[in-house]
Structure formats: structure tokens, C-alpha cells
Amino acid sequence: MPLQLLKYNPGVVKDITEYAAGKNGPYWVDSDLVRFKNGYPEKLGGWQKDNIFGLDPSGNITTTKISIEGIARRMAYWRAFADGEDRLAVGTHNHLFIYQNNSLFDITPLRKTSSGLSNPIATASGSAIVTITDNSHGAVTGDWVVLSGTSATGGIAADTLNDYYGYQLTVINANSYSIVVPSAATSTVSAGGGTVAIKYLIGADAGLGAQSSVPALGWGVGGWGQSTWGTTRTTSTSDIFLDNSSWNLSLWGEDLIATVRGGAIYYWDTSAGVTNRASLVSSISGAESVPAVARITTVSFPDRHFIAGGCSAYGGGGNVDNMLVRWSSQEQFEKFAPTATNTAGDQRLEVGTKIVAMVSAREETIISTDEAVYGMTFVGGDFVFSFRLLATDSGAAGMNTMISVDGDVFWLGKRNFFNYNGVVNELACSVQYYVFDRMQTNFIDKTTVGHNKAFKEVTWFYVSNDNASATNPEPDSYVTYNYAEKAWSVGTMDRTVWSDSFGARKVPFAFDEDGHLYEHETGTSANGAAMNSYIESSPREISESGETLYMVDQVIPDVTMTAQTSLSLYMNTRKFPNGSETIKGPFVITSSTEKVSTRAKGRQISMKFQSTGLNDDWTLGDFRVNSRQDGLR
């Protein structure tokens, strides 16, 4: 029999049987760390960890490498014209940082400052627990404090107590709390530290500190007749989940506007420097009726209104309407009070119970509630904005699941994927059921989306059932849509926020759950570790009818690969679609391999390509096999 060409369509298909994927494509049926380019699979680029250097108590840059505190949920990158500096704002579930010159500066807003405290520090010999007394501190367990001016106490160094990034606290009572420092005290001190100042970062009362969404346990939660009157509900019976903590980050010229979801709106002035913390927009001179609470914020383009969704109503006595959209006067982000001479205003949306996501697209702002998607367009005049209901039963699953790509918008819904390009379309997805069946839907709001324009890819990172044992699981898997190829791929990668290449950052960059920042499409390894990349084809019948057994004895590879690459080939055969699989291999393919000799017999044949080295870089082409008819034995 002459050499037979084994050619596969781009994309992974997992929502039908492998045999059907072979008959209807043929397609690929599984992958990890592999993408499609020009119709063919290739190994993803590697990633390399960025250095993040910490600061000493005086705010000076040190040589100590650190990771970011908290789970990074949102990023904004820009270069200020005033000083030419590149800055990355990072909002975690408990902090707001500026990453600049490879150093990490804390700009988290402050709740309050206590100054001139006299000897508020207590230590116990052999313990790393430090007790602090500050009457009516108002803190909640899990909040963060930063001490300054503290002298060495109980054998604990002053620089340790005055750590630049501070400590998370545990409340003892209304007048005291404890922190845990890196080194234990060598003596017991009941009152020490000298004259101390304490900065209290915004925390739970401001909407920060919740790593995961948690079930609401109020007595009114759940269906009628569940449990008993006036008692809290159990986790298993609650069907309402409270939001985890996240940020909205928007650039206003060279400055940053940061909103805690379900909390207040803050402003960070770049010109004031990195020693300056973000402060309430409502505290800016001339501010008018700034929403005290907002779920989602963004800046409209090209008209430049600051938009708040799911916010406190104007003149409403602080009442929050989760379906209300308010916008500032044009070019004045701090002025929300509508007058006859400005363009501030509001509009309540109707379909849904809360605004979930919002992105600025091509001359339009796309707003998603939990049930519908709206288009908000600047029209000027008395109405300022027009609102169109674009689609129902199409709401985004979370605030970080929607992204604008050159005016088109992609998002993850509750059970499917969507695209808006003037019309809302449900994306045909060949891995839809696979992704949602293995997704932990209680943590779907942690799903984050990223774009890689160089490869025309939109990727969602989500929490899978593989991570089910974790108390606060973070995204560990991904699903990628190549909008040029209209092809899907799947795999594993732990990223909590992702940004495409921009400005001085020539490659995409992302954080993992441990607070490390990585530059992607860099090198061929996972920060010096091997990448386990593979792709597996659907089974194909060697004969058109599928009736005859064939013996495959030769494979002619077609691979673009570097001299350092070693690619393993597995030949998998079956006699019946539901029959047992015979695996032959691995057969090693290098850049000089002309043919692979094997003996694999079956009615269907599939191939798996895998690389596990540090320097592997490959792109598959069209393979051919030599086969001959064989008997049943």
C-alpha cells in the first residue's frame, strides 16, 4: 500500500467521541501547552520569572527578592510622559501595588492612622506573636497594618517590626490585636516599642480580603421552608454566593483610578510619586456625588466619561442599586452630580439582578449583567448615552471574564462562550462541555481572561476539579480560542491575571497564585523547569470502510524543530472504537530523523506527540505512514 497522508484539522475536539472526531475531521482530541498556528500544532513558548525586589522600612529598594502579597486579580500597565517611567498597577485580593523599576510599592488606601502611641508592643519570649494595643482600632481579623517608628522590642529588630509591607492581624478585642513576625522574641516585654505610628490599610469593611466567594448563610437564604426560622443556613443549602475581592483598574491620562468591587473608588496621582497612597475620589477638591460604592468601573472611549456600574444612587441616601449605571461629566471623573451644564447622568438596566462586567470597545461600552448584555454608546445632547439590549441569557460569568480585542468582545458565560462584533454570537466550541463539566462553578468568578495578539488567541484560566482539594483553589487550567483559526485548545497553567504585550513589555506577562510575575513566550522552559507539552490525534481508520486490519510499519515525520529538540511519538491502535488500546512507543524524533520504524496493528490509528525537555521547540506538519493489510491474529 502506498504511503498514506495523515492530515488533521486545527483544533481540539472533546465534546464528541474520539472515533467521531476522527470521522468528522479528523481533529485532535487532547493537548497541553500546545497552540495552533497556520493550521498546525506547535509547542507554546516558555516563561521566565521577573525579579520583584522588596523595600526596607524607609522605602529604599533592597536586593531581597519577594513575591506579591495576595492573589493578583487585575493589572494596568502604562508609561507616564512626565517622567518616562513604566508602571504596572496590580490589584490583589487584599492590596494595591505599583511595580516600577523591578520594585514593589504599596499604594493600598488607608482606613485610618494612629499616631503617637506610647509603648503599645508586647512580646513573649520564644514566640513570634506580637500583641499591639490601640484602643478602638476598628480592625477586623485579616486586615493589614504597617508600623513605623517602633524601636527594637523583646529581641525583635526594629526593621522587622517596621516592615514596609506590614502584617496581617488577628483581632483579640476592641483595643488590641496580634501580628506574627518572622523571628521569635528572645524576652518577654509587656509594654515596649517607644513612640509608634500605625497605618491601617483598607480591609474587610471596604470590600478587601476575601480570596474566594463564600456562600451567604443568612436565615433568608435558600428556598422556602428550608431549615428553621431565624437560624443561619449551612454551606450546602445556600444557593447565593458573595463576591470575592477584586479591583477595577482604569487609566485616566497618566493617573490610576482603582475601584474595589462592591467598595469605594480611589485615585492615585502618578506625579505625587510611589510614596503616595491611593485616596478616595470623593475626597478630591471639587468632587461631586461620587458613588460611595460601585461594582464595576471603566472609562468610555472616545468621549472619556468615567462609568460606574452597580453603584449607590445619586441622592439616594447611600442605597446601592446593583443594576444602576452612573457616569461622570465628560473629562471630569470626580463630578457625578448631573447639572444643566455638564454631561453626568445615570440609567438603570432592567434584565438581570446585578452588573457583572464592563469593557470599553470600539466607540461603545459593553455592559454585562448576570442575565443580559447591553451596549452603551455616546450620543451627546440631552441623553448623553443611548443603551441597547444586545442579548439575553448571555451574561458574563465574572468581572474578569470579558475582554475587548480590537473592538470585538469575547467573554465566558455561565455555560458557554460568546463574542460581540456588532451582534452577540455564541461561539461554536468543541470543548465546551469538557471545560464546564470539569470547572468548579462555585469559583467561576475567579476565571480570568487574557489576550495574546501575536498568536490571535483569547485564553480563559479557570479553577478545575483537579484542584478540588484546595480550600481556596485558584485557576489551574486554561481553554484557548484562536479566533483566526477558529480553533480551540486546552491545557493546564496556574495564572490568576494575564496581560498582553504592551509598550516596553514586548511579551505577555502574568501572575501565578504564589505572587510571582512571569514573562511568557520567553525561552522554551517553564522558568527553568521542563514543559510537558503534548497533543494527541483522533483515531483514524486506515482503510475507508474500516473493515480491514492493517499493520503500520513506518512513519515519515514532518516537523520543524530545533537541533536541541527531542520529540516522542506514540502510535496507538484499536480494533474497535470501544476496544482496548495498544500503545507503541515512545519513538524519538529529532531534527535528523527521516523515518520511524514500528509495528502497530489495528483498524484505527492515532498518534500522540510529546516533549518533556528544557530546550524543545517544535511545529508539526503532515505525517505519512506506510501500512499493509494484515490478518486477524
Q: Which tens digits make up the pLDDT trace of 154-193?
A: 999 999 999 999 999 999 999 999 999 999 999 999 999 9
**pLDDT band per the 50, 70, 90 thresholds, residue 44:** very high
If you average pLDDT over residues 454-465, what whole number do you get? 98
Average pLDDT value for residue range 379-404: 96
Give every CB contact of residue 518 below 8 A, 6+ residues apart in sequence.
47, 48, 49, 50, 509, 510, 511, 512, 527
Q: Edge-to-edge strand order for the sheet containing 265-268?
A: 247-252, 255-260, 265-268, 279-280
Separation of alpha carbons 542 and 625, rounded Å: 10
Question: Which pLDDT belongs to residue 238?
Answer: 45
pLDDT recorded at residue 547: 63
- Residue 418 backbone dihedrals phi, psi, to 5 degrees: -135, 160
**Least confident stretch, 132-146, 231-245, 439-453:** 231-245
Domain extents in the chain: 4-30+38-43+532-629, 110-201, 285-427
Coil, helix or strand at residue 194: coil
Residue 21 has pLDDT above 80, yes or no: yes
| Mean pLDDT of all residues in 310-338 | 95
Answer yes or no: is pLDDT of 505 > 80.
yes
Chosen CATH of 110-201 out of 2.30.40.10, 1.10.40.30, 3.30.830.10, 2.40.30.20: 2.40.30.20
Residue with grid cell 514566640, as numbered in its chain: 127
Out of 115-119, 145-149, 318-322, 344-348, pick the least confident.
318-322
Instruction: Say what the pLDDT of residue 224 is.
Output: 55
Tell me the sheet residues that pair with 424: 420
61 close to 55: Cβ distance less than 8 angstroms: yes
Is the pLDDT reported for residue 95 higher than 70?
yes
Task: Tell me what pLDDT residue 236 has.
Answer: 45
pLDDT of amino acid 217: 45
**What pLDDT does residue 541 have?**
79
Rg (CA), the chain: 28
| Proportion of the chain above pLDDT 70, given as a percent | 94
* DSSP code of residue 244: P
Work out the number of other CB atoms within 10 angstroms of the CB of residue 307.
Answer: 23
**Residue 572: pLDDT band by 50, 70, 90 thresholds?**
confident
Q: What is the mean pLDDT of residues 333-361?
A: 97
218 against 184, higher pLDDT: 184
Average pLDDT on 57-76 reads: 97
- The set of cell numbers assigned to 102 is 523591578
What letters, b where the CB count within 10 A reaches 16 and e where it falls short, cover 588-623? ebeeebeebebebbbbbbbbbbbbebeebbbbbeeb
Mean pLDDT for 536-558 is 80
d(CA 459, CA 246): 19
Helix (H) or strand (E) holding 72: strand 72-79
pLDDT band, residue 111 (cuts 50/70/90): very high
pLDDT (0 to 100) of residue 304: 97
Split at pLDDT 50, 70, 90, the class of 543 is low
Tell me the mean pLDDT in the region 466-490.
95
Q: Mean pLDDT throughout 14-24?
A: 93
Backbone torsions φ then ψ of 466, nearest 5 degrees: -65, -20
pLDDT score at 581: 79
Asked if residues 72 and 249 have their Cβ atoms less than 8 Å apart, the reply is: no
The reported pTM is 0.94
3-state secondary structure of 332: strand
Strand spans (E) along 305-432 = 306-312, 320-327, 345-348, 355-361, 364-369, 372-380, 384-392, 402-405, 408-412, 417-420, 424-426
> Is the peptide bond prior to 26 cis by the omega test (within 30 degrees of 0)?
yes
- pLDDT value of position 240: 54
* CA distances in angstroms from 335 to 257, 278, 307, 344, 458, listed in the order given: 14, 18, 11, 7, 36
At residue 436 the predicted structure's pLDDT band, cuts being 50, 70 and 90, is very high
Average pLDDT estimate for 598-612? 88
What CATH number is given for 4-30+38-43+532-629 in this structure? 2.60.120
Q: How far apart, in Å, are the Cα atoms of 79 and each of 54, 232, 255?
A: 21, 50, 10
